[in-house]
Every structure is written in structure tokens, then in C-alpha cells.
A and B are shown apart, each in its own frame.
Chain A
Amino acid sequence: MLALRLARGSHPLVLVRRLLVAAASAGVGFLLLCALGYAAAHPASAGSVLRLLWCFVPLAATVQFAVAVARTDPSTRPRPGLSSMGLGPVRLSALAAVSTAVSTTLGSMVALLFFLHLRGDLTGMPFDGGAAEFLGAGTPLPPAAALMLLALVPVAASTASALALRSRPDPARDTFGSEELPEPAPAPAGLPWGVALTAAGLAVEAYASRGPAGNAFPLPGRFDATPVAVLIGWTLTAVGLAMAGPSLTHLCGRALQAVRPGAVRLLAGRVLMNEAHRIGRPLGVVCAVLSAVIAASALYGGDERPYGPLTALGAVLVLGCTTATLLTSSLEAKHARAHTVEALLRMGAPAATLRKATALRAGALLALFAPLTWVIAQLAALPLAD
């Protein structure tokens, strides 16, 4: 109940973020139900497993987004007042898990209603059974399977957010409101692993595509001989990029503050180095997703009907969730620095300087990651192109 009470009093922007989580959860629930409907209608088809497996990509993106939103939620931020009442990090992580579960379950319910409506099982609204055939109407759905699939997102998201928030430190403030200075995070060390995994992924994919000609890598809309190795290659590349992200961000910050920096470069670079852990990983994930999108559009862009509506929904979900995660993480980083920014402004630092520093950080990250994304996309598409 406390979760709901806190939600009622929170800022509209926070509620919008939670609604976005609910929408993403609804999208994933709908995709999972579609996979179930297809499997029920075509019991012998091998493609149904593949459809289900493809759903795990948007599911992972949604869980990542839900965790990012739970981390930024002001109502579950450790607060000294609540901590002295016994509502410390552990209870707050339970609170965050409950509020994540509420929003994702809401999304799952919407997905179920929408799915049944489009199948024609619920009547009385426009587009009744608009996609009945497509969604495998006529064959009854096993309710246990439907419930289990719908519970996947809430359970995964709330468990992940509880685990992620449990390890948050409890800020100890003294009576003057001063905060213990946090230990700076050590420089991220994932770069060698990230580069190795990315390279291995590209190599696996190139090796796999040497096989018989034809459609080397079908999207989930069509089901002729998906080479598993290509999928493994892309997954390895994505994991590698996510691992290399923090180190690359850190390097970017280090380059910004090098060689006699003025105030703007100094602040921009050091803050970026400090935030590398927080925003590096979502940045790497966005980079991987964007490169996959570029590669896929380079491969299938010429076709008359390159992808179906469900693939489009999945792609939108993955793109939207990863981008929203990146934005939410940068918001979290901004909140974490609010105290410092306040002190700087009190000192008389012009707001323009701070804005310039933020713009410089964004520009530097863009300058590093945009070419990287393009290069990875080209390398991923190269062996599949012919």
C-alpha cells in the first residue's frame, strides 16, 4: 500500500516513466501471447519455438528499462528520514520491487485484454477479431501457459529491480546535511573482454555465413533455416559492446580533460569518467541495438515487405526500451550530481558553463559511439550481404 501511496504523490514525469514501463511490458506480453497463439494453431511447426525465443530480446530490454526506472524513482531513493524510521535500503528495495510489479502487471493485463480483443474473444469494441486468423483464433489457448508467459515480465522485472537496489548504499548525513563523499568508482576494466567478445561475435557470424547460399539470416517473419551461429555471433557482439561501453565512456572522459583543461573541459571530462559505470553500459547496449538495426535494414531494406507487424513491434520495443534506459540512466546520473551542481552554482559558476559541459559530454560520446556503431553495423552486414 505504501508503494501506491508514494506513487499517488509523485511527480507526473515519474508516473510517465512508470507508464512507459507498463507500455513496454504490455508490448512484450502481447508478443509472448502471439507466440503462444501461433504455437497453439501450428502445433507441428518448428518456427513457434523460434518465435518464442525472439520474444526474449524485447523482454530483456524491458527488464533493463524497468530496473533503470526503479533506480531513478524518487520515492524509493534512500532517505535519511525514512532510514531512521527503519525504512532502509532493504525495505526500500522491496518497495521498488512492488511498484515495478504493479506497473508491469498492469501492462500484462492490458496485453491480455488487447490480445483477446484482436482475436475476437472479447466483443463490443471496434476491430473485434481484426487479426483473428493471424493470432490463431479457433484453437483454445492453454490458460496456464498464457498466465505463465504473462507473469514472466513482472516476475523478472521486480526480481531484477529488487536485486539491483538492494546493494545501494545508505547515505549517512549528519545534522548539517553534509554528505559523506562517495568513494570514486575505479576505472572500468571491461574493455579487453568487450573487444574480444565483439571480435569473436563478428568472426562467428562471418564463419557461419560461409555456408550454402540463400537467405542467410531470416527475420522471425519467415522461417527457413535460421543459422543459429549467426544469432550467436550477434549476441556475442552485443554483449561485447555492452561490456566495452563503460571503458569507452571512461576513455572519452579522460580524453576530454587531458592537456591543460579549462573549467568546462575539466568538469565535463571528470564527470564523464565518474559516470562511466552508470551510463556506459546502456550506451553500449544502444550502440549494439542500433548497429543491429542498421545491419538488418542494409540486408533487408530492398525487399518489398521486409518485416511483419509483430517484428516491427518487437523492434520498436527493443529500440524504445534501450534508448529510454539510456535516458533514464543519464537522468539518474544527473540526480546523483545534483548536490555538486548546487555547490557550483552557489560558488557563482555560470549556468551556461554547466550547460556547455553537458553538451560537450554528449558531443564527445556521440563522436565516439556513432562511428563505432556504423563500423560494427557494416562489419556485421558484410558477410551476409552476398
Chain B
Amino acid sequence: MVAPPDNDVIWARSLHHSHNGSPGLGGVSIGVQDAEILAVTGPRGSGKTTLLHCLSGRLVPQQGEVWFNSVPVHTMAPRVREQLRRERFGWIASDPELVPELTVWENAALPLLLRGVSHRAARKAATEWLERLDIAAFAKKRPHALLQAQRQRISVARALAAQPTVIFADEPTATLHRADRTQVLRTLTTAARSHGITVVLATHDAEVAALADRAVALLDGRRVATVTPPAEPEAEGRAACSLSV
């Protein structure tokens, strides 16, 4: 076991994972430095989500190592990994994944409440972030009454209010229109830079990836230099894979 470099918050080596036999990751190594915004790019199905799950400890890779702040994550017990996710990581998915029974501010304060922070402190932190993200006016509404873009901003506020070390954002803008997309991404990246939060951002969009400090491309579960697939062979190559259908 090789100890990871000191300046990397998260460091992973030759991750292999398959979902019930279908290949997910095939030997990905990656290092994420402190307070950087790293984009993981690639088309759908290239293993971005699986990689983020492995890095955040939600999934234990079948082979390979994941280290967080020089602590091995892949050997942790499930309970410790859960605690790590709760205390140090934030997660923004493409779907806001809000709890429909709770109001907007309660949703944003939920990670803090789950940590055992007092009601008042959690409410204060959540309201502050909702104000910064321009949705404080809806703080007492339920998520069902809001637009998708507003829900996604709540999800961002929920991740930021818990003051995590690393935020994993898995296609955070996939279900949004371009105007909303820009606002959500700008808020996320600005807040991350001003608070020194590391962000691992999975996206298939080159525009989104341009906001990051560094980009890592994945294709079919492997790291590649660019995601442009090799050019199609011309007409004579097609005959070889013709099927009678």
C-alpha cells in the first residue's frame, strides 16, 4: 500500500468496479487537490457517477484504493463511511432529492440536524445559505411548490450549509435550462472558491467543464486524454458488422 501524496484531499488508485458484471470502471486513478474544482467529463455511461460514488465512499470499489486526507476509505466499515459522508462530504445529484415532507429551510438544514447541531444553529446556517442563493423567500414552502431550478438551488444550499470538505456534484445541471444552469453553477463554484471547498463535478457538458480548474476525461470506464471517439471507418468497414434484421 503506497501512501498518497500529501497535498491531495482525495486520491484514488486503479479503481475497478462492475455493476453485476456490466463494466463500470476499468482502472481509473485520480488525485483531487485541496480547494480545487475538478471536472470529470465524459459521455453518459462512461463511469462518471460510479467514480464519484467510489470516491465518496458510497460504493466500495472491487479493486483499487481510495484515500481521503491520508485515511483509507476503501477499508472503512460502512458506519464510518456513513459518518464520513455526513460530516465531511456533500452531494448534489442531478435530481434535487429533497424530502417532500419538510419545508425548504428544513431540507437545507437537514444535514446539520442529522449531525446533531441544535435546531437554532441549523436554522441560522440554512437560512444564510438560502439568502445567498436567492431562495430565502421560499424558506417556509414545501419543495413541491417550487420550480425545478429552485429545488436544485435548495439542493446546492443543503450541500453548502453543512460546510463540507468536499462536494460531489453529479451532473448538477442536467435537468435545467441554460439560464438556470449558469446560475446554479456560478453559485456553486463561487461559494466553493470563497470557502475553500473542494468540488468534484461530473458533467458531460464542455461548457460546464470550462468553469473547473482542471478536467479529467473518462470514456468507457477509463481515463483518456480527450473524449472524442476514434473516427468511424469508411464504408468498407461497415459490411463487417452488418446484421440481417
A271 adjacent to B114 (CB under 8 Å): no
Are A262 and B119 neighbours in the complex by a CB distance under 8 Å?
yes
Chain B residue nearest to A178 (CB atoms) is B95
Interface string of B61-104 (1 = CB under 8 A from A): 00000000000000000010011111101010111111111100
B100, A340: Cβ atoms under 8 Å? yes
A353 pairs with B114, CB closer than 8 A: yes
Q: How far is the CA of A361 from the CA of B101 in the complex (A)?
A: 15
- For A260, A348, A349, the residue with the greatest tally of chain B CB atoms inside 10 Å of its CB is A348
Count A-B pairs with CB separation below 8 Å: 86
Query: Which residues of A (236-286) have their CB < 8 Å from a CB of B?
Result: 260-263, 266-267, 270-271, 273-274
Given contacts A177-B95, A274-B101, A340-B100, contact A348 B113 (CB under 8 A): no
Interface string of B88-128 (1 = CB under 8 A from A): 01010111111111100010001101101001100000000
Q: State which of A85-93, A95-103, A181-189, A305-313 sits at the interface with chain B.
A: A181-189
Minimal beta-carbon separation of A181 from chain B (angstroms): 4
- Determine whether the beta carbon of B175 is less than 8 Å from that of A174: yes
A344 to B158, CA, bound (A): 12
A184 and B106 contact, CB distance less than 8 A: no
Are B114 and A263 in contact, with the CB atoms below 8 A? Answer: yes
In angstroms, Cα B89 to Cα A242, docked, is 46
B91→A176 contact, CB < 8 A: no
A350 contacts the other chain (CB 8 A): yes
Q: Once the chains are docked, how many angstroms separate the CA of A349 from the CA of B85?
A: 9
Give the nearest-CB partner of B53 in chain A.
A346
Whether the pair B86, A350 counts as a contact (CB closer than 8 A) is yes
Q: Given A184-B100, A273-B101, are A347 and B114 neighbors across the interface (CB < 8 Å)?
A: yes
On whether A176 and B174 interact (CB within 8 A), knowing A182-B144, A350-B82, the answer reads yes
Are A348's CB and B116's CB within 8 A?
no
Given the complex, which residues of B lie within 8 Å of A179, measured CB to CB?
95
Q: How far is the CB of B76 from chain A (nearest CB, A)?
A: 13
Contact of A228 with B by CB under 8 A: no
How many A residues face the partner with a CB closer than 8 A? 30
Is A2 in contact with chain B by the CB < 8 A criterion? Answer: no
One digit per residue, 1 when the CB lies within 8 angstroms of any chain B CB and 0 when it does not, for chain A 169-207 equals 000001011110111100000000000000000000000
Task: Note all chain B residues with C-beta closer than 8 A to A177.
Answer: 95
What is the total number of residues of chain B having a CB less than 8 Å from a CB of chain A? Answer: 35
B89 CB contacts on chain A under 8 angstroms: 348
Give Cα distance in the complex from A176 to B91, angstroms: 16
Name the residue in A183, A263, A344 with the highest tally of chain B Cβ atoms < 10 Å from its Cβ.
A263
Is A262 a contact of B113 with CB atoms below 8 Å? yes
Expressed in whole angstroms, the minimum distance between the Cβ of B216 and any Cβ of chain A is 22
**Inside 8 A of A262's CB, which chain B residues have their CB?**
113, 116, 119
Q: Is the CB of A184 within 8 A of B86?
A: no
Measured CB to CB, the nearest residue on chain B to A352 is B79
Q: Does A343 contact B (CB under 8 A)?
A: yes
Let me know if A181 and B119 touch, CB within 8 A: no
Q: Is the CB of B100 within 8 A of A348?
A: no
B94 lies within 8 A of A348 (CB): no
Residues of chain A lying within 8 A (CB to CB) of residue B174: 176
Q: Give complex CA distance A182, B99 in Å.
A: 11
Q: Which of B87, B96, B119 has the most CB of A within 10 A?
A: B119
> Which of B86, B96, B106, B143 is close to A349, meaning CB atoms less than 8 Å apart?
B86
Interface pair A181/B85, CB less than 8 Å apart? no
B100 and A181 contact, CB distance less than 8 A: yes
- Give the chain B neighbours of A274 by CB distance below 8 A: 100-101
Q: Does A176 lie within 8 Å of B99, measured CB to CB?
A: no
Q: List 10 A-B contacts (CB under 8 A).
A: A176-B175, A178-B175, A261-B119, A267-B102, A270-B102, A273-B101, A340-B101, A343-B97, A348-B87, A350-B82
Chain A contact residues, CB within 8 Å of chain B: 174, 176-179, 181-184, 260-263, 266-267, 270-271, 273-274, 340, 343-351, 353
The 4 A-B pairs of least Cβ separation, nearest first, read A348-B86, A348-B85, A178-B95, A270-B101
Known: A348-B111, A349-B86. 5 other contacts (CB 8 A): A176-B171, A261-B119, A267-B101, A346-B85, A351-B82
Binding site for A on B (CB under 8 A): 58, 79, 82-87, 89, 91, 93-102, 106, 110-111, 113-114, 116, 119-120, 142-144, 151, 171, 174-175
